[in-house]
């Protein structure tokens, strides 16, 4: 089954939305106060610029990008499940492929974040704001379940959700491969139940909260799975419409019940609308060279941009560089660093994972052939 072109292009759009949300909107909101650096006394960016980079005032641009990433994963991951299902050690191959796809690149991105935090600490004559145990727990992508403190960057929580989604995929492996709706129904019920654990409280704490936190996001990713079922011919367009809208309403109910800000819920709804329009009317759109480039570096860009950008821009402004030139310089540097990580880490480790998965199948075939000829 061939690659879904528009989904690949969407990765670039999603990454740019998140970078825009952090480098322009959030940096302006926190006035550069990050990693121990003091806030600026003057407004960072002019109002016209904020309106340009966030034209829809009641939408959270970062949430929009994250929602796109979630829907893309829901759409494409079942393709791997379907291609592996029935083969020897299918789940093992899936896990190995995901490990090499996710962890090495995030580990390097986290090292970039730690470097930026160390620079900020040294600049303010402070100690580094992290410990070795914090780093190891965060790098595992199970920080939340280990009971660790607040994350060291602003992106790891989404990757932690992604990993929990993989666990759900393994749990419902056979049903997802055959296009069954039970996983969607089960997570729908779970999402409604979990939302009522903490009504009106978006800031949850404790072991139970850490366990149930990813469920609503995994359920949102399952909307992408519904689209995958349609893509593979398991459900009709009418059924896709009914299922996806119903699931979106359940997700919205969860957000409202837990007290989410309206602009965050709106971001997820608008991401769903944008994703749906492209799926139905521009599924063959590959994005062109610009979006293809950003799609290629989207994961390392997402993984490394946060602290690197906040610290870099804040220090540049401290040394007399204007906010807009600092933004341009920092964005260029971040893109370059992301490209280096893509070329030196992400692409080689991804291909290594594919080779290991392929070798598992070959070694299995050789073993069977040997036994049959003895």
pLDDT of residue 372: 44
For residues 20 and 47, what is the distance between their CA atoms, to the nearest angstrom?
Answer: 15
pLDDT of residue 374: 45
Residue 314: per-residue pLDDT: 96
Kindly report the pTM of this predicted structure.
0.92
Mean pLDDT by 10 residues, the chain (374 residues): 77 94 93 92 87 77 95 95 87 94 96 95 88 88 80 90 96 95 96 80 70 92 97 96 97 91 93 96 88 95 95 96 96 98 97 91 50 46
The pLDDT value recorded for residue 362 is 66
pLDDT at res. 203 = 63
What is the Cα–Cα distance from 71 to 343, expressed in whole angstroms?
Answer: 26
Contact 329, 321 (CB under 8 A): yes
Cβ–Cβ < 8 Å for 274, 13: no
What is the C-alpha separation between 16 and 301, in angstroms, rounded?
Answer: 9
DSSP reduced 3-state for 178 = coil
Percent of the chain that is helix, strand, coil (3-state, to 5):
75, 0, 25
Q: What is the DSSP string of 357-372?
A: HHHHHHHHHHHHHHHH
Residue length of the chain: 374
288 burial level (CB within 10 Å; 0-12, 13-18, 19+): exposed
Residue 176's nearest CA partner among 218, 216, 222, 212 is 222
pLDDT for position 201: 59
Query: How confident is the model at residue 104, as a pLDDT?
Result: 96
């Amino acid at each position: 089954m061939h690659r879904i072109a528009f989904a690949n292009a969407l990765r670039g759009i999603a990454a740019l939305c998140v970078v825009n949300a952090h480098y322009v909107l959030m940096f302006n909101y926190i006035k550069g106060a990050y990693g121990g650096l003091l806030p600026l006394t003057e407004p960072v960016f002019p109002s016209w610029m904020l309106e340009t980079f966030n034209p829809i005032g009641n939408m959270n641009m970062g949430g929009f990008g994250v929602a796109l990433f979630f829907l893309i994963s829901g759409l494409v991951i079942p393709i791997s499940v379907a291609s592996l299902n029935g083969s020897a050690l299918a789940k093992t191959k899936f896990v190995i492929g995901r490990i090499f796809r996710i962890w090495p690149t995030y580990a390097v991105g986290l090292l970039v974040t730690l470097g930026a935090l160390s620079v900020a600490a040294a600049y303010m004559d402070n100690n580094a704001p992290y410990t070795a145990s914090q780093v190891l727990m965060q790098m595992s992508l199970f920080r939340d379940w280990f009971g660790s403190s607040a994350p060291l960057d602003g992106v790891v929580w989404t990757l932690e959700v992604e990993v929990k989604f993989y666990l759900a995929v393994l749990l419902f492996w056979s049903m997802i491969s055959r296009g069954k709706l039970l996983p969607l129904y089960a997570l729908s019920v779970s999402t409604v139940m979990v939302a009522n654990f903490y009504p009106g409280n978006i800031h949850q704490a404790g072991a139970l909260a850490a366990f149930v936190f990813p469920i609503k996001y995994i359920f949102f990713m399952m909307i992408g799975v519904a689209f995958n079922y349609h893509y593979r011919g398991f459900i009709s367009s009418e059924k896709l419409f009914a299922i996806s809208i119903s699931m979106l309403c359940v997700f919205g109910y969860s957000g409202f019940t837990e007290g989410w800000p309206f602009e965050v819920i709106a971001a997820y709804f608008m991401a769903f609308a944008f994703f749906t329009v492209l799926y139905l009317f521009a599924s063959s759109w590959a994005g062109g060279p610009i979006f293809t480039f950003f799609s290629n570096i989207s994961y390392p860009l997402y993984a490394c941009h946060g602290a690197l950008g906040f610290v870099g821009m804040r220090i540049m402004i401290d040394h007399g560089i204007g906010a807009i030139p600092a933004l341009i310089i920092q964005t260029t540097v971040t893109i370059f660093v992301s490209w280096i990580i893509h070329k030196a880490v992400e692409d080689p480790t991804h291909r290594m994972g594919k080779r290991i998965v392929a070798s598992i199948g070959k070694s299995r075939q050789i073993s069977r052939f040997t036994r049959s000829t003895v």
